[in-house]
Amino acid sequence: MNVCMMVANPILYDGRVIRHAKTLVEAGHRVTVLGVIGPNDSDGALPADTPFVVKRLRRQRHGVLPRLLWATTALRQRMAQQLVSVLPDSMLNPLAEIADLAVATSALELTALTIGSSYDVFHGNDLNTLPAVAWAAKLQGKPYLYDAHEFYIEESPTLPQTERRARQLCERRLSQQAFAVLTVNDLLADELQHRHQIPRPIVVRNVPPRFETTDPLDLPMGATGTLRLLYHGTHIGLRQPGTDDVLRAMARLRDELQLHLQLRGQITADEQHELAQRVEELGLTGLVETAPPVPGPTALMQAAVAGHAELGLAFHPPLSGNFRLATSSKVYEYQVAGLAVCATDVPGNHVILDETAGVFYPFGDDAKLAAVFKELALDRPRLQRLRHRARQRGRTEFAWESERQRLLAVYEALDRRNKPART
């Protein structure tokens, strides 16, 4: 089949989209991935040996025409949001595309990128591409899939009620029309099924490919009182929830232990300056470093091993439904790379982490987080056992090689459906 995938980011660091696209190509499908380089996104090319076609909508505001185009898009979305805020359901439901425009900034432009090409199926990643895949599929008379990586209706505690309403209307209607809905864990599958009255979504966990690394039991124990911490994400800095938790925890221990933190991800110059000021204020100069993002989970795991990281950090403030239910791919990646994990105590983390491979702490409680760091820095044998168990889980429970069949089964069902139409 000829597959069109869409994602509202530059694709470079989206391990799930890259992994799915490569898997489909390996299974004999042709894949084109349409992405978006937003105004604040880093540009860059995927490796030359990338086996799928990449096309990207460039939304950077460099020059007069790009600024005008962006202003037009923003105005269109703002007008749609205003209509959602004032129209009653009796009027809004028949005009459902208004909610679609309020949700997806670049839906029209992504749909336009599909014109002139013929696809057998459209695969939308997250709610901000769902309208585009639905419209493109309708134009070509083809089916579409909705892949919900997160719980977008309750993405943030500060999300305005108008936007929540738009997202609810858009996701409910378009997920009901999809050939299938995919998601990343059982908690989200149950919630989406209940909320939208749809068949239970197919769970395809966001696990990385198998990664060969030395068993932590075969590595040197490390000096008692030391600990190397790693946080990696798309973006880093003080504006990322949890960053200040770990800085405050480190400050509590600066006279007792030798802790080192690496933050890996995108960070603006202003955010870098803010972080440096906070590090100096807490007396942590020389103990915190930032590193640029690397493309794909394998490169991230290689970087973690090369940096001798021992404890991976995963912060999810329990302030919204999304943070409570969603699971972070970094928790899988840390374990596959042979790192113990320290995660916030929310249901989404408990789905993929247990106390044999990591530890939990209450979000915002830097005193308890400091106690976790101290215990692991002083009890090096326990840290080594946690890392060993994490690596074991990565090799057995969390390997893409066993998970991939769930994705391929969806496409096999699509192919069976399409074959009668071809004969």
What percent of the chain stands above pLDDT 70? 98
User: Which 3-state string (H, E, C) describes 220-238?
Assistant: CCCCCCEEEEEEEEEECCC
Choose between 45 and 356: higher pLDDT. Answer: 356
Mean predicted lDDT score pLDDT of the chain: 91
DSSP string, 122-167: EEEESTTTHHHHHHHHHHHT--EEEEE-S-GGGS-TT--HHHHHHH
Q: How confident is the model over 378-411, as pLDDT tens digits? A: 999 999 999 999 999 988 888 898 899 999 999 9
Rounded average pLDDT over 297-303? 86
pLDDT bracket for residue 417 (50, 70, 90): confident
Q: How confident is the model over 82-91, as pLDDT tens digits? A: 888 888 888 8
CA distance 250 to 374: 9
pLDDT value at 104 more than 60? yes
CB-CB contact of 152 with 167 (8 Å) = yes
Does 216-396 match 2-207+401-422 at the fold level? yes
Choose between 97 and 384: higher pLDDT. Answer: 384
CA atoms within 13 A on the CB side of 290: 21
> Comparing 41-55, 192-206, 249-263, which segment has the lowest mean pLDDT?
41-55
For tokens 């002083």, name the residue.
378
Question: What kind of fold does domain 216-396 have according to CATH?
Answer: Rossmann fold (3.40.50)
Residues 6+ apart with CB under 8 A from 228: 259, 260, 262, 307, 308, 309, 310, 311
Residues 6+ apart with CB under 8 A from 65: none
Q: What is the structure's pLDDT at 290?
A: 96
Say which CATH superfamily domain 2-207+401-422 falls into: Glycogen Phosphorylase B; (3.40.50.2000)
Q: Per the structure block, which two tokens stand in for 151? A: 């719980």
CA distance 92 to 83: 8
> Three-state DSSP class for 117?
coil
Nearest Cα residue to 344 out of 231, 227, 236: 231
CA distance 260 to 408: 42
Q: Per the structure block, which two tokens stand in for 260? A: 């080192």
Q: Residue ranges per domain, the chain?
A: 2-207+401-422, 216-396
pLDDT value at 419 more than 80? no
Neighbours of 274 (CB within 10 A): 15
Rounded average pLDDT over 324-329? 87
Q: How confident is the model over 231-246, as pLDDT tens digits? A: 998 889 999 989 999 9
Q: What is the structure's pLDDT at 309?
A: 95
Q: Per the structure block, which two tokens stand in for 53? A: 């076609």
Q: What is the structure's pLDDT at 420?
A: 62
> Comparing 135-149, 290-304, 334-348, which segment has the lowest mean pLDDT?
290-304
Q: What is the structure's pLDDT at 218?
A: 94
Q: How confident is the model over 369-380, as pLDDT tens digits? A: 999 999 999 999
pLDDT value at 206 more than 70? yes
DSSP label at 296? S
pLDDT value at 423 more than 50? no
